[in-house]
Amino acid sequence: MEANDRKLRLAVVGCGAVAAIHHLPALSLSRGAEAVVLVDADLGRARDLAARFGVPETATDIRSLPGRVDAAIVAVPNSLHAPVSIELLRQGVHVLVEKPMAVNVKECDEIIAAAEAGGAVLAVGLEFRFFDFSLLVRNLLHDGLLGKIRRFEMHMGVIPRWPFATDFLLKKETAGGGVLADLGVHVLDILLWWLGDWADVEYRDDAQGGLESDCELLLAFRSGVMGTVEISRTHNLSNTCLFEGERASLEVGIWDPDPQVRLLIEDREVVLAGRARRQEGSGTTFLDAFVRQIDDFAAAVRDRREPHVPGREGRRIQTLVEACYARRKFLEMPWSVLPSPRERVS
């Protein structure tokens, strides 16, 4: 950027539901960036969104972007995250790529290398880190308020209500995985942000050759903390995370962006319950989180610093996702067709 007081000129590449519901409304409120062009293979859809959000230009090809924009939000289907991001980054266009960063670790490495080659900022769209509750939990754990963590359990399950623009999430070749690669990326990211690097994992899902809709993990961290993770697309779960420590237990909602936080001191009858708040602030919404994410990205470009969620963090999550799929075992559900004895052994 040539002037610190100028907003980042930004292209939104991919005009699906996440762009329409989250990125474009957030950009309309952002103090650091503005959408100047929308790019989509469906030019009609791009034009409709451009008219709705007051974006001056539309295009069907990213090759016209260098020189016209400073940066881009890459919100195309998962299998296109790497090729689109790499082409833009190599030409010096800063990129905020939607989660998952890529469909495998090799592609993550190629995206990171492209950012280094182009001298561009690379951020990964993991907006759960921008919720107030996420920072509160991280601070409480890092400050040792709970004492040594004995165990944790995480449950995230939401029956899809998302107005999908395409069917890419239903295909392995375009999605890269099922619920673990979708909702699970948010779950794993905040756990790794809270607890540090993982050490080992046991994994089960119901894929049976297709895409998983339900999965369970037994996850161990290098710190010695161990716990369970349950993720589902077939039924609504409690959508909570519980940490049990030597001195206290902490429970927090993880789907509501402004959840209740409960703290129970060991051997005490009174529970402290409330909501995470910044000083003189109100409750966080999904829109707030996306605005914060975009403003952080713009500030990283302006100040030539690392964004809140850099490329290596997206890579770290993908490493865990790949380890899960490599160690996959069958998850028996009440409605499942059980595999044959030979499949169980293998």
Measure the CA–CA gap between 151 and 111, rounded to whole angstroms.
35
CATH 3.40.50.720 in the chain, residues?
Answer: 8-127+288-310
Strand order in the sheet with 57-59: 57-59, 33-39, 8-13, 71-74, 94-98, 122-125
- For the stretch 166-215, pLDDT in tens is 888 888 888 999 999 999 999 999 999 999 999 999 999 999 889 999 99
Residue 346 has pLDDT above 50, yes or no: no
Q: What is the average per-residue pLDDT within 151-157?
A: 97
Residue limits of CATH 3.30.360.10 in the chain: 129-282+319-330
d(CA 191, CA 153): 10
Look up the CATH superfamily of 129-282+319-330: Dihydrodipicolinate Reductase; domain 2 (3.30.360.10)
Q: Taking the domain 8-127+288-310, which CATH number applies? A: 3.40.50.720
Q: Which amino acid is at 329?
A: K
pTM of the predicted protein model: 0.93
